[in-house]
Chains A and B, each alone.
Chain A
Amino acid sequence: MNDVGNRKIRVLLAKVGLDGHDRGIKTVARYLADAGMEVIFTGIRSTPEQIVDAAVEEDVDVVGLSFLGGDHMTLAPRVIDGLRRRGLQVLIVLGGIIPQRDIPALEQTGAARVFLPGTPPDRIVQFIRGSLEQN
């Protein structure tokens, strides 16, 4: 199942903040695309505002954010709040180097799942499909 209604699952992937390490998110992008999803990657150093605008414009079902710079507690809530304020009901997933102790707070804010280093990319594909099918 790669479709929501009659169309492909659309995923926006983004690096928020200043960190430029994009190997992980590009790997995820490839796996999602190979699984038949429509993937939009906004590149490195996107601001929360740019991501929210892109999510609206591209009418996505999923927003995935990658953090390796330690700024997730500041920037993830900003993106999530922005999406909510624009009335977007999207699945939000996070990944990267994120300490275990920060995960509950991030989930509280609205992240559906936080994927840590070493996660097999296929597990992310399955999670996204599974979550969207439930809705």
Chain B
Amino acid sequence: MPDLKADLKRWQETALKRTLDRSPERKQAFTTDSGIPVKALYTPLDNPESDYQQQIGFPGEFPYTRGVYPSMYRGQLWTMRQYAGFGAAEETNRRFRYLLERGSTGLSIAFDLPTQLGLDSDDPLAEGSVGRVGVAVDTLADMETIFQGIPLDRVSTSMTINATAPILLAMYIAVGEQQGVAQTQLTGTTQNDILKEFIARGTYIFPPEPSLKLALDIVEYCLGNVPRWNTMNIAGYHIREAGADAVQELAFTLADAITYIERARERGLAVDEFAPRLSYSLGCFRDIFEEVAKYRAARRLFARIMKERFGAKDPRSYLFRTFSGSCGSTLVSQQPLNNIVRVAMHALMGVLGGHQAIHTACWDEGYAIPSESAAQIALRTQQILAHESGLANTTDPLAGSYYVESLTNEIEKRARAYLERIDAMGGMLEAIESGFISREIQESSIRYQKSVDSGEKIIVGLNKFQEQETDQGAAAMDLFQADPAVEGRQKAALSAVRAKRSQEEVASALSELAAVISRNENVMPVVIRAVKAYATVGEITGVMRSAWGEYRSPAYI
């Protein structure tokens, strides 16, 4: 037998060439969705086998390419964590119970924008937004209602909350206490990833420095007090949704993580104390192999950073534990039922990628808050993959694919190069403040749009295979209608709480908060005191606003 290299060359020059001479390939060049060149064929030459232990290894062991736990889904399936929340607390409570009764194993709360931005429902700026994109929470009373009949020692709850995360976590702790569940038993996650708000999602309130301080207050407080809590979910998902490609998504997520870890160490926390409680999120976009390679590269690159850069010793510090989900931007309003298929592919990449928790989007999300039936299909999609497909029978089944291993290496290499550029700029905060990150994302976003315009990227139903439809589907759909009365009801409930509480205790807690801020101490204990006194989200944030001011990010177009 000739050696492989010579044999490959022979095949390319004979068999392949003869075929291509007769009928050329469909396109001039093939790339991944993010523009990484893809060859016609991958062979062992692309991944020298000698690298196995160093590059791939075993699940649950360094460098974690194959998964963060040794037994992965054979031991325990991923958490099916459906994102929900809308209207007032009662409605979200009903939707949560609906999902739990149907086998959902974790909750994920969407908050409305006023709650995310520290505004009460009766603030003039909140008008029109109360209970729209998530549930409205003004005081502890709302949080009590959301979790009525849901024992906090039996579910884990993920909260998509950033600028006001200390307040919402404080409320969750207080509800737990009322239910007789100690904070040491609580499990769940606060997103608490403020850096990506400055570059992608926009729900920042304070300037970067005090914003980072608040985020780290949660990390520090939970260390001793809420030890099972995931203090941060450092999210690439939103960066991807803002237009970044797969490599940027990974690189910027890790650059954010590096910044938090450096800041935590500056506070005197040891990396092996807090790093095990950090969690991560990456999106599920379109290109299955690229996404799986991204997840595998993420685990490996992160573990290497923790070891090489931060000298972490506890293996739990190396784990890039992830909650990932459907990128809503891949969903298409035209012929919307096709989205069910897209979401099934998202779940497929998530499972092949070895995530700890997965969210599947609802096919009608492009129109409205998902209807109950759409939410059910999204959950069932995960259950079908878990129980009917054989996907969960072995760990990291794409390992050893010449293509996927090669792509994993390539993505790690490209992400590393970005990290080096960011380091050279002085770190992620500087890269964000100089506009570099926003501009990089914007360029990718425009590139993507242009390739859709030109038809180079095909989106079924949008730029190819269109139907003549005015608004097919949408008219026939059982669409969720936002209840216009929610805002009024929420305002009335807020007035009632304000009237009933002890004003002295509220005032005293708020002035103590101001003092804690001026002494630059951890705000968590006094925020917990304030929420227990039924101080509102707006009042607590107001104290912080007076101390730190508000930030307005420049817009790069």
> A residues within 8 Å of B by Cβ?
17-23, 26-27, 29-30, 33, 39, 41-45, 47, 69-71, 73-75, 97, 99-100, 116-118, 120-122
Q: Given A17-B128, A118-B334, A118-B462, verify A23-B453 contact (CB < 8 Å).
A: no
Inter-subunit contact B334/A97 (CB<8 Å): no
Q: How far is the CA of A30 from the CA of B449 in the complex (A)?
A: 11
Chain A residues with CB under 8 Å of B197's CB are 20
> B residues within 8 Å of A by Cβ?
113-114, 116-117, 119, 125-129, 132-133, 197, 201-203, 241-243, 329, 332-334, 366-369, 442, 445-446, 449, 452-453, 459, 462-463, 471, 474-475, 479, 482, 552-557
* Of the residues A43, A47, A74, contact of B552 by C-beta under 8 Å: A43
Q: How far is the CA of A42 from the CA of B557 in the complex (A)?
A: 10
Q: Which 5 A-B pairs have the closest CB atoms?
A: A20-B202, A74-B128, A71-B128, A70-B132, A18-B113
Chain B residues with CB under 8 Å of A75's CB are 128
Inter-subunit contact A30/B446 (CB<8 Å): yes
The majority secondary structure among interface residues of chain A is: loop
Inter-subunit contact A69/B113 (CB<8 Å): yes
Chain B residues with CB under 8 Å of A23's CB are 241-243, 329, 445
Chain B residues with CB under 8 Å of A21's CB are 201-202, 241-242
Chain A residues with CB under 8 Å of B553's CB are 43-44
Q: How far is the CA of A79 from the CA of B334 in the complex (A)?
A: 29
Q: How far is the CA of A116 from the CA of B367 in the complex (A)?
A: 10
In the complex, residue of chain B having the shortest beta-carbon distance to the beta carbon of A116: B333
* Of the residues A33, A47, A117, contact of B557 by C-beta under 8 Å: A33
Q: How far is the CA of A20 from the CA of B117 in the complex (A)?
A: 11
Inter-subunit contact A26/B557 (CB<8 Å): yes
Q: Given A26-B557, A27-B445, verify A19-B113 contact (CB < 8 Å).
A: yes
A43 to chain B, nearest CB (A): 4
Inter-subunit contact B449/A121 (CB<8 Å): yes
Chain A residues with CB under 8 Å of B369's CB are 70
Chain B residues with CB under 8 Å of A74's CB are 127-128
Chain B residues with CB under 8 Å of A42's CB are 555
B144 to chain A, nearest CB (A): 25
Inter-subunit contact A22/B555 (CB<8 Å): yes
Inter-subunit contact A71/B446 (CB<8 Å): no
A24 to chain B, nearest CB (A): 10
Q: How far is the CA of A22 from the CA of B140 in the complex (A)?
A: 32
Chain B residues with CB under 8 Å of A18's CB are 113-114, 116-117, 119, 125-126, 129, 203
Chain B residues with CB under 8 Å of A39's CB are 557
Inter-subunit contact B453/A120 (CB<8 Å): yes
Q: How far is the CA of A23 from the CA of B129 in the complex (A)?
A: 20
Q: How far is the CA of A19 from the CA of B114 in the complex (A)?
A: 10
B207 to chain A, nearest CB (A): 15
A38 to chain B, nearest CB (A): 12
* Of the residues B201, B334, B445, contact of A26 by C-beta under 8 Å: B445
Most A-side CB within 10 Å, residue of B126, B332, B471, B555: B555
Q: How far is the CA of A120 from the CA of B451 in the complex (A)?
A: 11
7 A-B pairs, CB-CB below 8 angstroms?
Answer: A18-B114, A18-B125, A69-B113, A69-B132, A97-B367, A99-B367, A99-B479
Inter-subunit contact B555/A69 (CB<8 Å): no
